Amino acid sequence: MQTLRAEPNASVPQNPLGCKPVGRLLVTFSLPAIVSCLINSIYNIVDQIFIGQGVGYLGNAATTVAFPVMTILLAFSTLIGAGSSAHAAIRLGEKNEEEAERTLNTAFSFSILLSVVLMVLGLLFLRPLLRAFGATDSILPYALDYTSIILLGTPFNMVSVVLSNLARTDGHPRMSMYGMMIGAFLNTILDPIYIFVLHWGVKGAAIATITSQIISAVVLTLYFLRPSRGNPRHMRLRRAYRRPDWYLVRRAMALGVSSGITQSVGCIMQVVMNNSLVHYGDQSAIGGDVALSAMGIVMKIAMIMAAFGIGVGIGAQPILGFNRGAKNFARIRRTYLLAVTFATGLIAFCWLLCQLFPETIVGIFGKENAAFTDFAVKCLRIYLFSIFCAGFQIVSTNYFQATGQPLKASVLSMLRQLLLLIPLILILPLFFGLDGILYSAPIADAASAAIVAFFIVPEMRRLRQQIGQMPPAEA
């Protein structure tokens, strides 16, 4: 007996995640995500450019020391935002719109509660934290001024990151981009005013940053408060769901743990690197303060390059999650392969620019110290030598997260920085001094890409088999 399948109701609009061409969807979702990730990096980059020109390399070193604090905050924001986004996308694919909307509301209220706790703890233990993160006596006053103000903006920063992730899942990646763009544009305007006109130094850069984060949070919150306007798929912030649903918190954190681990491990790596740079820098002719400041700039440039891979991975997540819920394996496989190609190509282009024009890039951050410029150029060329491998690893990790495989995603999130880079930073300088820190990154990048391939190749084979078992109309 032939089984009859119900045809979709033509009067009910289909979710574009399940029917539009994958390539077009990936571009539509990835470009705003890339811009959002770049903007998140630009907050720090703009600060360093203006601080470098207006305060000097000690001011830049202070932002490098403060960076682990900001990474911790971003880790928790990404844990909630990416996890809630992945869970909501899967529920939308299963046509469970109510739970998707509850996930949005839980993520919003829980992020506010958590951000207040983190802000208070950060302010209470700021001085010992900065010392642990590599602040020397000459850097500490700048770092205290900058980081204490940044911590005051924690609730707005976390809300903007969380809602930015969920706006993409809601089918409006441009809103996510607009919310971040408005803040970044404001930050770029306020930085020179506060630093050069009002002479507030690093405090001015921090005030500009949190002002911008407040605006971004307000824009994204207003988007989720607005009526659906005839779109039944639009998720909204509702008073009825204002209390966190702890089941959804646990579920979102399970799916978001890989993203959170990536950021947390990045914080540990930064602390180890900062202290190693100061220690081995003081043993060389360069000096610890110069080494710390120069590497801080290179790390920010690396953030910009990684933002392309992260943006593509984030853009692919709603497509992967929705089609995982809908069991459309062909679209899952095609989305992943296109995302890897897209991310690798973008990062490789940036890598080429860094290898060809390092002096020009470093010069943007100031030229007051020749030793600083020379070492920064050397860092840029060596430390980022294999970074073009990052796109493959980032997208693969996002794939496992979006398709409900948090264990694999967590292992791969820890792979590059915790299991490879940190040990290399500790071991190689014993033999090569300060240069050993520079060589640790290209070795870790190449090795982690090889290990990620060990996980992803069988996964692609499994998807191919599932596609072959589907009826021709579905495959």
Q: Is 17 left (phi over 0), alpha (psi -120 to 50) or beta?
A: alpha
CA 128 to chain centre: 26
> Is the overall model pTM greater than 0.75, yes or no?
no
Residue 255, CA atoms < 13 Å, CB-side half-sphere: 26
| First and final C-alpha spacing in the chain | 23
Point out the residues of the chain with pLDDT beneath 70.
1-19, 40, 42-44, 228-233, 258, 366-368, 470-475
Residue type for position 303: M
> Which of 269, 256, 267, 254 minimizes the C-alpha distance to 398?
256
Per-position b or e across 300-338, b if 16+ CB within 10 A of its CB: bbbbbbbbbbbbbbbbbbbbbbbbbbbebbbbbbbbbeb
Q: What's the burial of 21, exposed, middle or buried (CB within 10 Å: 0-12/13-18/19+)? A: exposed
User: How confident is the model at residue 438, as a pLDDT?
Assistant: 94
Give me the sign of the Cα torsion angle 262, 265, 269, 271: positive
Give me the sign of the Cα torsion angle 385, 298, 261, 437: positive
User: How confident is the model at residue 5, as a pLDDT?
Assistant: 40
- C-alpha span between 245 and 243 (Å, rounded): 6
- C-alpha span between 229 and 220 (Å, rounded): 17
User: How confident is the model at residue 111, as a pLDDT?
Assistant: 92
- C-alpha span between 122 and 120 (Å, rounded): 5
Residue 426, CA atoms < 13 Å, CB-side half-sphere: 11
User: How confident is the model at residue 43, as a pLDDT?
Assistant: 64
- pLDDT tens, residue by residue, 101-139: 888 899 999 999 999 999 999 999 999 999 988 888 888
User: How confident is the model at residue 168, as a pLDDT?
Assistant: 78
Q: Tell me which DSSP letter residue 195 carries.
A: I
Give me the DSSP letters along 115-173. Answer: HHHHHHHHHHTHHHHHHHTT--TTTHHHHHHHHHHHHHTHHHHHHHHHHHHHHHHTT-H
- C-alpha span between 70 and 48 (Å, rounded): 14
User: How confident is the model at residue 12, as a pLDDT?
Assistant: 44
Are 78 and 263 in contact by the 8 Å Cβ rule? The answer is: yes
